[in-house]
Structure 1
Amino acid sequence: MKHHIERAPLFEALTKWKDKKPVSFHVPGHKNGTVFSKYWNADQLYRSLLSIDATELTGLDDLHAADGPIREAEHLTADLYGSIDSRFLVGGSTAGNLAMLMAVCTEGDLVFVQKNCHKSVLNGIRLSKARPIFLSPVVDSESQVATGLTIESLKKAIARYPSVKALVLTNPNYYGMTIDLKPIISYAHEHGVAVLVDEAHGAHYAREPFFPRSAVHYGADLVVQSAHKTLPAMTMGSYLHIGHECYRNAINDYLEIFQSSSPSYPIMGSLDLARHYLSSLSDEQLENLLREINKFRQQLKELSGITVIGKNGIAYDRLDPLKITVQVRGISGYELAAQLEEEEIFVELADPLNVLLVCPLAYLPDHFEKTRNAFEQISSRIDPTITDMTLQPVTWMEEDMTFPAYSFKELDTMNKKEIDFEKAAGAIAARAIIPYPPGIPIVMPGERISVGKIRMLATVIKGGGHVQGFKENMIEIAIEEE
Structure 2
Amino acid sequence: MERSLQKRAPIYEALERFRRNRVVPFDVPGHKHGRGNPELVELLGERCVSIDVNSMKPLDNLCHPVSVIKEAEELAADAFGAEHAFLMVGGTTSAVQTMILSCCKKGDKIILPRNVHRSAINAMVLCGAKPIYVNPDVDQRLGISLGMKRADVERAIEENPDAVAVFVNNPTYYGVCSDLRAIVKMAHEKGMKVLADEAHGTHFYFGNNLPVSAMAAGADIASVSMHKSGGSLTQSSFLLTGKGMHPGYIRQIINLTQTTSGSYLLLSSLDISRRNLALRGEESFKMVTELAEYARKEINQIGDYYAFGREMVNGDSIFDFDPTKLSIHTLDIGLAGIEVYDILRDEYDIQIEFGDLGNILAYLSIGDRKREVERLVTALADLKRRYKKDKTGMLTQEYIAPKVVMTPQDSFYAEKESLPLKETKGRICSEFVMCYPPGIPVLAPGEEITDEIIDYIVYAKEKGCSMTGPEDERIERLNVLTGR
Note whether the superposition's TM-score is higher than 0.5.
Answer: yes
Equivalent residue number for residue 107 of structure 1: 106
Task: Give the letter aligned to residue 334 of structure 2.
Answer: G
Query: What are the equivalent positions in structure 2 for 1:379-418 lying under 5 Å apart?
Result: 379-383=384-388, 386=389, 388=391, 391-394=394-397, 396-398=399-401, 404-412=404-412, 414-418=414-418
Contact 1:175 1:325 in 2 (8 A): yes
Contact 1:305 1:382 in 2 (8 A): no
Task: Give the letter aligned to residue 265 of structure 1.
Answer: Y
Q: How far did residue 309 of structure 1 move? A: 1.9
Contact 1:222 1:244 in 2 (8 A): no
Contact 2:408 2:444 in 1 (8 A): no
Between stretches 154-163 and 410-419, larger displacement belongs to: 410-419
Q: How far did residue 321 of structure 1 move? A: 2.5
Q: How far did residue 106 of structure 1 move? A: 1.1
Equivalent residue number for residue 337 of structure 2: 333
Between Structure 1 and Structure 2, how many residues are aligned? Answer: 474
Q: Measure the CA separation in 2 of the matches of 1:432 and 1:465.
A: 15
Change (3 A) 1:83 1:285: closer
Contact 2:230 2:277 in 1 (8 A): yes
Change (3 A) 1:366 1:18: farther
Query: What are the equivalent positions in structure 2 for 1:50-199 lying under 5 Å apart?
Result: 50-199=49-198
Secondary structure of the corresponding residue to residue 22 of structure 2: coil
Among candidates 327, 347, 351, match of residue 352 of structure 2: 347
Among candidates 322, 333, 342, match of residue 320 of structure 1: 322
Q: Measure the CA separation in 2 of the matches of 1:283 and 1:215.
A: 17
Q: Measure the CA separation in 1 of the matches of 2:193 and 2:463.
A: 39
Contact 2:284 2:366 in 1 (8 A): no
Instruction: Structure 1 unaligned segments of length 5 or more: list them.
Output: none
| CA deviation profile, 1:387-408 (whole Å, cap 9, x unmatched) | 6476231253436xx5x32223
Task: Give the letter aligned to residue 341 of structure 1.
Answer: R
Q: Measure the CA separation in 2 of the matches of 1:286 and 1:310.
A: 16
Secondary structure of the corresponding residue to residue 475 of structure 1: strand
Change (3 A) 1:478 1:182: same
Q: How far did residue 72 of structure 1 move? A: 0.8
Q: How far did residue 472 of structure 1 move? A: 4.0
Secondary structure of the corresponding residue to residue 266 of structure 2: helix
Change (3 A) 1:428 1:345: same
Task: Give the letter aligned to residue 330 of structure 1.
Answer: G
Q: How far did residue 54 of structure 1 move? A: 1.6
Equivalent residue number for residue 467 of structure 1: 467
Contact 2:141 2:396 in 1 (8 A): no
Equivalent residue number for residue 34 of structure 2: 33
Change (3 A) 1:457 1:113: same
Query: What are the equivalent positions in structure 2 for 1:193-272 lying under 5 Å apart?
Result: 193-272=192-271
| CA deviation profile, 1:25-67 (whole Å, cap 9, x unmatched) | 22111212233133xx753534221121122223211111112
Task: Give the letter aligned to residue 391 of structure 1.
Answer: M
Among candidates 461, 478, 481, match of residue 478 of structure 1: 481
Cα RMSD of the aligned pairs, angstroms, is 2.1
Task: Give the letter aligned to residue 416 of structure 1.
Answer: K
Contact 1:210 1:286 in 2 (8 A): no
Between stretches 41-50 and 150-159, larger displacement belongs to: 41-50
Contact 1:469 1:476 in 2 (8 A): no
Secondary structure of the corresponding residue to residue 378 of structure 1: helix
Contact 2:431 2:469 in 1 (8 A): yes
Between stretches 372-381 and 214-223, larger displacement belongs to: 372-381
Change (3 A) 1:242 1:417: same
Change (3 A) 1:166 1:285: closer
Task: Give the letter aligned to residue 411 of structure 2.
Answer: L
Q: Measure the CA separation in 2 of the matches of 1:292 and 1:234.
A: 23
Among candidates 364, 368, 374, match of residue 373 of structure 2: 368
| CA deviation profile, 1:222-272 (whole Å, cap 9, x unmatched) | 111111111111111000001133432221101112111110001000001
Contact 1:331 1:389 in 2 (8 A): no
Equivalent residue number for residue 13 of structure 2: 12
| CA deviation profile, 1:118-160 (whole Å, cap 9, x unmatched) | 1111111121111112221111334211122111111111222
Contact 2:207 2:286 in 1 (8 A): no
Change (3 A) 1:302 1:382: farther
Equivalent residue number for residue 24 of structure 1: 25
Identity %: 27
Q: Measure the CA separation in 1 of the matches of 2:313 and 2:368.
A: 30
Contact 1:94 1:120 in 2 (8 A): yes
Contact 1:137 1:397 in 2 (8 A): no
Q: How far did residue 82 of structure 1 move? A: 1.1
Contact 2:145 2:398 in 1 (8 A): no
Q: How far did residue 171 of structure 1 move? A: 2.0
Q: How far did residue 423 of structure 1 move? A: 2.5
Contact 2:165 2:194 in 1 (8 A): yes
Instruction: Structure 2 unaligned segments of length 5 or more: list them.
Output: none
Q: Which runs of 4+ in 1 moved over 6 A?
A: none
Q: Measure the CA separation in 2 of the matches of 1:461 and 1:247.
A: 45
Q: Measure the CA separation in 2 of the matches of 1:395 and 1:291.
A: 29
Task: Give the letter aligned to residue 179 of structure 1.
Answer: S
Equivalent residue number for residue 436 of structure 2: 436
Task: Give the letter aligned to residue 33 of structure 1.
Answer: G
Contact 1:18 1:52 in 2 (8 A): yes
TM-score after normalising by structure 2 = 0.92
Q: How far did residue 382 of structure 1 move? A: 4.6
| CA deviation profile, 1:86-112 (whole Å, cap 9, x unmatched) | 000000111112222111111111111
Contact 1:415 1:479 in 2 (8 A): yes
Change (3 A) 1:75 1:454: same
Q: Measure the CA separation in 2 of the matches of 1:377 and 1:358.
A: 20
Secondary structure of the corresponding residue to residue 480 of structure 1: coil
Q: Is 1:377 matched up with 2:377?
A: no
Q: How far did residue 290 of structure 1 move? A: 2.5
Q: How far did residue 409 of structure 1 move? A: 4.0
Change (3 A) 1:226 1:122: same
Q: Measure the CA separation in 1 of the matches of 2:248 and 2:169.
A: 24
Task: Give the letter aligned to residue 249 of structure 2.
Answer: A
Secondary structure of the corresponding residue to residue 456 of structure 1: helix
